[in-house]
Amino acid sequence: MRDVRALAVAAALAAFAAPALAATAKDKSDCEQVKNPGLKVSACTRMLSGGGLPADVRSFAHHHRGLGLLLQQNYDRAIVEFNEALRADPANIRSLNSRGNAWRGKGELDNAIADYNAAIRLDPNFAFPYNGRATAFYNKGQLHRAIEDYSQVIRLDPTLAAPYNNRALAFRDQGDFDRALADVEDAMRRDPKNVAITSARGEIYRMKGDLERALADQNQAVRMDPKSPLPFLRRGDTFRYRGELARALGDYDSALRVTPDYIPAYVGKGLSYERQGNITRARAEYEKALNSRSQYRGDTAGESLETARARLAAFDSGAPQPTIKAAPTRVTSQTAIPTADAAVPATAPQAVTHGRRIALVIGNAKYRNATALINPQHDADAIATSLRATGFENVTVTSDASRETLINELRTFANAAETADWAVVYYSGHGLEVNGANYLIPVEAKIASDRDVQFEAIPLDQVMASVEGAKKLRLVLIDACRNNPFTPQIRHTAPAETVAAAAPTGGLAGTRSVGRGLGEVKVAGATLVVYAAKHGQTALDGEGRNSPFAIAVVQRLATPNVEINKLFRLVRDDVMEATAGRQEPYTYGSLPGKEDFYFVTK
């Protein structure tokens, strides 16, 4: 989404109406321009150095100096400038919007949303705060609210391509691929030469499981922009998912020719060689990534570096690497993929005890008022056996649990956790996110409206509270992000207070939101929460006995000498490979740096 949003940022800058200035025309022009952020900052600084400026001129110069710093990704200094602009002119909605963009750049999404809300209150017909707020909601996993705001941008300015494309990506992440494709087609009609939009359509087809159509768009993206590494990278990934490893390697090499030392291409090559069974060459590519001094980094490179570190740790463990089959060219189900049974180790070789470790494993499959599930009971058995094999002292398994049973099991486990070093909960079954809160669904739950959830389901917070007493590590694994049968039938009701007071007129303001999958979770201390699929997304079921997530956990759990953060990175990457990138597990939280944690050491 970033490339397309850049168009909106540039448009916002160009839309700023400058007041009459006493400064030189050259300073004014340089302060307003957007192509050279350094020149922009210095010109605005010259304007401000004179002193005695009228309030509107001070606001203008501080605003544009803030924009220059924002373009340089110097978010803290940008925020200071926008504060000054607003001090001179509290009604400067563009500074409110831009400060929201700076907060969003820092990852402080609630502060960003507060600024976008304030800008919208000042001018409900100004499109850009809706777009910024939509992106913040998207990043929080609140896809329904993101879609509402992108819809407002489209209503206010239907000529823009970017909001159609952005809304398409939100629909994609909701699994509503038909609406996503309709939006991306609208975006392409408005901007047919935009490589980011063409690439987005390819990604939507890939997420839909149609790798042929994805490849056609990626071919077009390469033709449109052969000087960018990203189209080659994305096409290489698709070839790798399809098992066409020689063609994948060719595309990664093309990306490296365009941008030497391109970290994601090194890692793509490593994954391809690994799929070929050539561990020596895979290791060499991962080491190139880690030794890279490239300044062309960003989010994609950061993700790639994490993968490289985890794969090298897996190689160093000496354990055989799992074999992952090529993804089908076209899927037959939008909610499940073919899977083999999890290969559960009987014992972990040379396992070393790591204090007292206990686990509660829950598999809810036989739902009485919703679609029954095949995988959870088998997943629970496989996970429990694997935990015992890695030296867990006590592993409690419960299947098809009612609400009362779940509460009793969690209460008992919480008491036991107070005398444990590690406490682990694994849950497989249905889950829901309602108004930002996550719930696990007991098998007898009757959910007709969003209000029913709090009475019928178990808050995820209660699960997290059950592990709080553990002395060293608290771990919660949630395979409850499936395509939920409760979601489409739930009636939306209004809470006591309006939960979306700043939402646009005509949207779902004043109603509780029911999300797809589970929502983002905040954790503190030595705690990790691992979702089978990233917040706001859904996980795939396995057409065999086990889910893709459970298979990946089981095949990695007994890998010796791999620190736990790297181990769950391996799980994430294995699931991504098995599902052609359609499902991305996600880990929330961090562990204290003074101690590393391992399931197994030699």
Task: State the chain's mean pLDDT as an integer.
Answer: 88
For residue 247 the two structure tokens come to: 């063609």
- Tell me whether strands 541-542 and 422-428 are parallel, antiparallel or unpaired: unpaired
Q: In a 10 Å sphere around its CB, with 0-12 CB exposed, 13-18 middle and 19+ buried, how is residue 218 labelled? A: buried
Domain end, chosen from 298, 316, 334, is at 316
pLDDT value at 300 more than 80: no
Q: How much is the pLDDT for 571?
A: 97
At 526, the pLDDT band (50, 70, 90 cuts) reads confident
| Torsion angles phi and psi, residue 134, rounded to 5 | -60, -45
Q: What is the domain range of residue 115?
A: 1-123
pLDDT at 289: 96
Whole-number Å distance between alpha carbons of 155 and 396: 54
**Distance of alpha carbon 137 from alpha carbon 236, whole angstroms:** 30
| Beta bridge mates, 427 | 362, 478
pLDDT at 4 over 50: no
Residue-by-residue DSSP string for 331-378? -S-SSEE--PPP---SS-TT----S-EEEEEEE----SSS---SHHHH
Are 416 and 556 members of one domain? yes
| Domain co-membership, 248 together with 370 | no
Between CA 203 and CA 319 the distance in angstroms is 34
Tell me, yes or no, whether 364 and 506 share the same domain.
yes
How many percent of the chain have pLDDT more than 70?
A: 88
d(CA 98, CA 119): 10
Stretch 179-207: mean pLDDT, rounded? 96
pLDDT at 46 over 50: yes
* pTM score of the predicted model: 0.82
The single-letter code of the amino acid at 156 is: L
The predicted-structure confidence for 321-367, as pLDDT tens digits, reads as follows 998 888 888 888 888 888 888 888 766 555 556 789 999 999 999 99
Size of the chain in residues: 602
Cβ contact 94:122 at 8 Å: no
**Predicted local distance difference test score (pLDDT) of residue 10:** 40
**539: which DSSP letter?**
B
CATH number at residue 371: 3.40.50.1460
Let me know: does 242 contact 251? Beta carbons within 8 Å: no
Write down which residue in 273, 297, 316 finishes a domain: 316
Amino acid at 177: F
Residues 352 and 478 in one domain: yes
Of 80, 108, 123, the residue that ends a domain is 123
If asked whether residues 411 and 457 sit together in one domain, one would say: yes
E strand intervals along 58-202: none
Answer for the pair 132, 112: CB distance below 8 angstroms, yes or no: yes
Domain count, the chain: 3
Q: Could you tell me the CATH number of the domain that includes residue 36?
A: 1.25.40.10
**Residue, of 159 and 489, whose pLDDT is higher:** 159
Same domain for 400 and 283: no
% helix / strand / coil in the chain, to the nearest 5? 55, 10, 35
354-366 pLDDT, tens per residue? 789 999 999 999 9
Determine how many CB atoms are found less than 10 A away from the CB of residue 36: 13
